[in-house]
Amino acid sequence: MSNAHHRIVIIGAGSAGLCTAVHLRQAGIDDYVILEQGDGIGGTWFWNRYPGAECDVQSHLYSFSFEPKVDWSQPFAGQAEILEYLNLVADKYDVRRHIRFGAGVSSLHWHDERSVWEITTRDGRTLSAQIVVSAIGMFNELVWPKIPGIETFEGHYWHSARWDHSHDITGERVGVIGIAASAVQFAPQLAPIARELRLFQRTANWVVPKANTPYSAARIEEFRRRPELVQQSREEIYAVWNTLATFGDKQVLADIERAGLARIAEVRDPRVREKLTPNHPFGCKRPLFSDLYYPIFNRDNVELVTENIECITDQGILTADGMEHELDTIIYSTGFHTTSYLTALDVTGRNGLAIAEAWRDGAQAYLGVSTSGFPNLFMLYGPNTNQGSILFMLERQVEYMMRQVRRIMDEDLAWIDIRRDVMDAYNEQLQRDIANVDVWQAACGNEFYYRAASGRFVTQWPHSMDEFRARTSRPNPEDYDVRARHRGQGVAAMATATHHRTQQSGRGT
């Protein structure tokens, strides 16, 4: 792979990378390579293999529109079934031959004089590309809590996103630090087999009902015979998620909170119920869904611990009340650096601009796809694109990106770069719109998931999926600066053809 050149390099073989590859195939573009740090495809669904892992969006919608699956085993599919589906997509659309496994990327550097990206992998190999697509998304950099003594623990420990399936916790004393999206799924799987299960909770979360009864064999067969029923189901699910994640309907939010409180009421111990009851509105933090979580607190071997953790000892966890909880295994369910995006890599753009400097106030991009100063670089599941079904959102981003890719090729451009005034106007309006979402302004610790260190919201899309589709569908060639190749002098010499229309700086906002 050393010094190889490709038209397009895609970073990541998860859902976003696969979606891009399929669209490239449909456009007749075969000169691309996917660099994947792991040894399999699937991204989040490849790495997160903890017990009970499943999607929180119904699979009739959490699947690509160009490759519907009619025989999902249950409404919210589990990790293994989703991973199987993504592998099917890769094989059906001949993507696998383009993937280089074990090729984690360490740096991206734009060369102004040659108008190419130089990509360096973690093992020191290099390649170049005219266009780079970042498909690393939000969930790629693990968070380990800053608790003293982690390395001193003499038992077993791991992060939930890198589950150690070689170790059997049956009959063990298990502690879980971090009670959020992953823990509410795997804790009910551990409770029946662990001798003791202690859940260390910092903040109570809303965990609301999730009807996930598996489909009967007869129902699955009916879906196979009548695929229009799956399409109808997809449309019905879309109608709900289209506005649910905007958190604007107060009645819907109140109904969800009542349902959540009804589930908490199933916990028999009043002291535990009180500790499990959130003191912030639903939606302030990432919503969680489970019908299995709250019942585990009626088990004699499950304990909820809300005292602050002082440190990890060689035998377990010491809390602020002076109690040492002796444990055999500690599981850190502490999530990801969701606000990092491309700053997880060493990236420099035009004139050596580092993306960490460009984003010193937090990650930002136009429609979450293009960020000014970094030509021919497109992000998927980029800043402020988290809403509803991410696979729907990804398809819209890829379609938008493909228009820019086709323009580069059709007009024989050296590069294309979103205008700074356009990006700034878009993001200023976006932050104003986010400020109008009441539940996101409450105090609940959402800075760990939604906000950059500056306080800027960098993950959420505050509008409907319909609105995102409308904005990504608009033709907007004037929003980009471009540079055309100088046909008489090769790649190194380019003639600038930039479009400055400052009177339209608010376009696209």
Cβ count near 198 (within 10 Å): 22
C-alpha distance from residue 174 to each of 99, 195, 331, 335 (Å): 38, 8, 8, 18
Among 132, 23, 30, residue whose Cα is nearest residue 396: 23
3 state DSSP class of 470? helix
H helix intervals, 40-105: 44-47, 79-92
Contact 14, 43 (CB under 8 A): yes
pTM higher than 0.85: yes
Q: Look at residues 415, 379, 404, 354 and name the one whose alpha carbon lies nearest to residue 108.
A: 354
Are 478 and 499 in contact by the 8 Å Cβ rule? The answer is yes
136 closest CA partner among 404, 355, 382: 382
User: 243, 464 in Cβ contact below 8 A?
Assistant: yes
Q: Which amino acid is at 356?
A: A
Q: What is the pLDDT of residue 140?
A: 79
Count the helices and strands in the chain (H runs, E runs).
12, 21
* Residues 491, 418 contacting (CB under 8 angstroms): no
Check residue 487 and give its pLDDT.
57
For residue 485, what pLDDT is reported?
86
* Mean pLDDT, 10 residues at a time, the chain of 509 residues: 85 98 97 97 96 97 97 98 98 98 97 96 96 91 93 97 97 96 97 98 95 97 98 97 92 96 97 97 93 98 97 98 98 91 95 96 97 98 95 98 97 97 98 95 82 92 97 97 71 37 35
Copy the structure tokens of residue 457.
Answer: 């919201």
- Residue 425 is classified by DSSP as H
